[in-house]
Structure 1
Amino acid sequence: MTAKLPAPITLTGRHVRLEPLGRAHVPDLFAAGGGDEEVWRWIPTPVPRTVEEMAAVVDARLADTACEPFAVVDRASGRAIGVTCYFDASAEDELLEIGGTWYARAVWRTAVNTEAKLLLLTHAFEDLGMGRVVWKTDHLNERSQNAIQRLGASYEGTFRRSRRRPDGSWRDSVYFSMLREEWPVAKARLTERLHAGAAVPA
């Protein structure tokens, strides 16, 4: 059984705050990533080149009943610098997916991705009682694959010709997962990296 997560929640760390995505975040998000081809290269959405197009991207996330979207807010500036989501949560099967993630290029290779993932994983395993968290990404997106593996996730396999890209070409989707019993070791490693200032690149 697949269902939307029970309630939106705000997750707060030292560097970032993950809060329920809303229309109010659109101006910040457009400033963070609007029109940036590199930010959107591997996102299965056309590059938003106007504020209105960014609003449409946000509206699509909000309309997706299988998605719980978060705005990633930089605590120092108070501005939204990206988006990340939970997808396809199932309390019965104790699983969910983390995805739909993008950040402003200015925060790539900083603590932002490390802390955002630490917050999401902690909430998933320790508060929601999940037993399995999944990621999937384009087979050509080596940066994302490396970042997911550095979180402590394991490669599971590749679904061939699984999704059409905005340009009409087909991607293979590479799947990774982390299990509840693997979480304590991953959490300790991520926490140590964060405290040491060593980021897991986005």
Structure 2
Amino acid sequence: MQPIDTSLLRGRHLYLALLTKEYEPQLRTLARDERLWEFTKTLLINDTYDAQFDAYIAKAYGHAGADGQAFVIHRTSDDAVIGMTRFYDGNEEHKRVNIGYTWYVPEVWGQVYNKECKLLLLQYAFETWGLQRVGFEVAHQNLRSQKAVEKIGGTREGTLRKFMLRPDGSVRHTVLFSIIDEEWPEKKAKLFSMC
């Protein structure tokens, strides 16, 4: 994928900044809220939290470059950090990328932020990179995130059964969603109306 121009990832309510080391202390504190990981079990809030967070951030940096990018989400009204998101598993040859690993501090859940964040990322994927598919992979128990993807226009494609094991050893099935380029103009208009 081509390098990211973050000036194109700024909306009315939020803007995205590239993940850098300077953000790590603040993100470590914000991500400690166990409500964020209720369904994914990505980070378990226990005595190994710091080691888990270090691995989580290392993976986020691993998504920077040819196949994606990790972002820190800022609220425009006060520049507060309110979460993270990523492009990942990008493939320029096949014109696709996934959006995921998205989380927000609970105080902003249900507000406009996720809709605008996805609008900015989808717009970048389809209009700047010229991709034909954006995918979303959601844990089967995470009904809140599944509903959020449906609200932004994602089409449910199916479920990958027993797709992975979560950090606590439990099985995760993965629900697949996508938006494709032919659908983008209609989905974009809907998202704009919601932001």
TM-score (normalised: structure 1): 0.86
How many Å apart are 1:165 and its aligned residue? Answer: 1.1
Aligned-pair RMSD on alpha carbons? 1.9
| 1:6 counterpart (2, 9, 27) | 2
1:40 aligns with 2:37: yes
Contact 1:26 1:55 in 2 (8 A): no
Runs (5+) with no aligned partner, structure 1: 195-202
Deviations 1:90-134 (A, max 9, x none): 111111100111110111111110110000000000000010110
Deviations 1:127-182 (A, max 9, x none): 00010110011111111111111111111111000010111011110001111010
CA distance in 2, matches of 1:52, 1:158: 31
Q: Name the counterpart of 2:147.
A: 146
Runs (5+) with no aligned partner, structure 2: none
> 1:39-188 counterparts in 2 under 5 A?
39-43=36-40, 45-47=42-44, 54-64=53-63, 66-188=67-189
Contact 1:29 1:81 in 2 (8 A): no
Q: Name the counterpart of 1:30.
A: 28
Deviations 1:13-60 (A, max 9, x none): 1111111111111233234332x1111223352236666754543233
Contact 1:42 1:138 in 2 (8 A): yes
Aligned residues: 189
Flag the 1:72–1:8 CA change in 2: closer, same or farther, 3 A: same
CA distance in 2, matches of 1:48, 1:20: 26
